[in-house]
Chain A
Amino acid sequence: MSWMILRIWTALVYLFLFLPIGVVMLLSFNANQFGSFPVTGLSFRWFFKLANNDAILRAFETSLLLGSLTAVISTTLGVLASLALVRYKVPGQNMISTLLIAPILVPEVVLAVALLLFLNALSINKSFFLLLMGHVIFTLPFVVLVVQARLVNIRRDVEEAAMSLGASPRQTFFQITLPLLAPAIFAGMLFAFTISFDDITGTLFWKPGGVETVPTQIFAMLRNSISPEINALGTVMIILTVGLPLLGIGIVRKMSTKSSE
């Protein structure tokens, strides 16, 4: 009985989480001339309009470039730091860990203000560079946490075995350590990219005039009025950020079950 109530409660919670997103996707295919309710038929017109919207396409380019650079830099820093924390006994380990995740503990607005004002005092104005530095510092803690969680599972004796069988340190690193690290590196990059791609608060403080990322472009569009193109953009982003990774997981699973058969 009480289990049944819990089940219904949980179902409602999931409905609450996903219903609005479902409505975004539904409305993006709506033929209605204002793109709002009632749904009058299936149409791709909002997607065509979206594909011809130069501002959004430019924002997409900026976001992709920013996200990719952030992912590379942040993951490089994060993987090195995680290796040190997981593999070695470092004096002051706790303090270092806290310092590395400090950017999460500081409210994003405060982080944004501090970085903007400090770099401005060094005569680094609002620019793509400032935006990139901001995104790196903001994503670093997440990368460290995710990579550390993966690294703990890699056993060191595999490397020691390779060495004892005559591999040089360089061979060991490239043939043993790096392949084992690859999933952690990949997870870190994916995470950093997603967070950077999604960030808006810091970005609004750091971006120079005229430069928009996808979220700030949506934000600017929302200020005028809610246009159905935003729903279409939402659908495209959901398919890109949710559909593709799920498909990827599915393919990997299928391949691994095939190979184990």
Chain B
Amino acid sequence: MTIETREARQPWILLSPSLVAITLLLVIPLLFIVVYSFWLRTATGADQVGFFLDNWTEALTDAFYRDILLYTLKIAAITTAVCALLGYPAAYFIARSKGNKALLLLLLMLPFWISYIIRTMSWINILGVSGAINSLLISLGIISEPIQMLYNQVTIVLGLVHFLLPFMILNIYVSLEGIDVTLEDAACSLGATRWQSFLEVTLPLSIAGLAAGGLLCFVLAAGTYITPVILGGPSDAMFANLVFEAIITQLDWPLGSALSLMLLVVLGALVLVYNHFLGMGQLMKGLGK
């Protein structure tokens, strides 16, 4: 064996364990649930192997599933918009601040190290019947009975924004950091106001980061299972809750497969559109940080 062929084989030897793992634990399982979604669950509880369109007909035509899918996408869209509005100014401040940039970035990383379920349930301490806000209002004599603020759409969005905001800020920050500050100064010296130079120079240049953060927020929000269970009410089920219900509670695996694939196709289409226009590079930059 010559040195060249050894050199050429080496990367494949290094890559093979990961590629085998991904193939066996992700690619083939995904293909498998495509097949599974055409099987049928019989009344006896056994799965009937074959090619039946029943699950897909049910998943695609039943208004119940369609409404929950639309509700899920709505919640994800609102969450993403709120994250962008809250996060952009903060990211801008961090990117342009001179002093404690490192500290601000470190603080932004901290939530990633704190348990997601603890962060989600922490809102019960704030908004719950015996939480901070109700206790404060009662002790001030403004209200006499606690107000129920939890378990609705708003608290789901609140929980999701709390979870996803650091992703958004970091992605916007990465793209703002790459913009030459002197560009804005140049625009100003050519007669633009600060606001104009921001709108016409900085904002367009940071769209890539905003889009990367937006994609992450949207996909993670739309796939969430835990937040609606902890912070939502009984009628606030999102799509992942449906999937869980079908797979774990009802054990209807063929229908659960079809529902999972529906979510995958909708969110996958979004990722493909993003990839087509912006490529995966920006997303990787934000994630690798």
A-side residues, CB < 8 A to B, are: 2, 6-7, 9-10, 13-14, 16-21, 23-24, 27, 34, 36-38, 76-78, 80-81, 83-85, 87-88, 90, 96-111, 113-119, 121, 133-134, 136-137, 140, 142, 144-146, 148-149, 194, 197-198, 200-201, 204-205, 214-215, 218-219, 222, 226, 230-231, 233-234, 237-238, 241-242, 245
Contact = CB atoms under 8 A, between A and B. Distances in A.
B274 to A, nearest CB: 10
A100 B114 contact: no
Contacts of A19: 126
Interface of B: 7, 10-12, 14-15, 17-19, 21-22, 25-30, 32-33, 36, 86-87, 89-90, 92-94, 104, 107-108, 110-119, 121-126, 128, 130-132, 134-136, 139, 162, 165-166, 169, 194, 219, 222-226, 229-230, 240, 243-244, 247-248, 253, 256-257, 260-261, 263-264, 267-268, 271, 280, 284, 287-289
Given A23-B126, A109-B260, A118-B33, A136 B247 contact: no
B43 to A, nearest CB: 20
Given A13-B87, A19-B126, A109 B225 contact: yes
B117 A101 contact: no
A38 B139 contact: yes
B116 A77 contact: no
Nearest to B165: A17
Contacts of A84: 10-12, 14-15
A145 B287 contact: yes
B11 A90 contact: yes
Contacts of A38: 135, 139
B169 to A, nearest CB: 8
B124 A226 contact: yes
Given A13-B89, A114-B29, 14 more contacts: A24-B122, A81-B15, A96-B15, A98-B280, A102-B22, A110-B260, A114-B26, A117-B29, A117-B253, A137-B21, A148-B288, A218-B117, A237-B114, A242-B113
Contacts of A146: 288
Given A110-B264, A237-B118, A117 B11 contact: no
A242 B107 CA distance: 10
A107 B264 contact: yes
Contacts of A148: 288
A114 B32 contact: yes
Given A80-B17, A205-B248, A238-B118, A136 B25 contact: yes
B267 A107 contact: yes
Contacts of B118: 21, 24, 218, 230, 233-234, 237-238
A140 B131 contact: no
Nearest to B124: A226
A184 to B, nearest CB: 12
Nearest to A27: B125
A100 B125 contact: no
A105 B113 contact: no
A24 B229 CA distance: 20
In this complex, the member of A19, A84, A104, A133 whose beta carbon has the largest number of chain B beta carbons within 10 angstroms is A84
A100 to B, nearest CB: 6
Nearest to A216: B117
Nearest to B134: A37
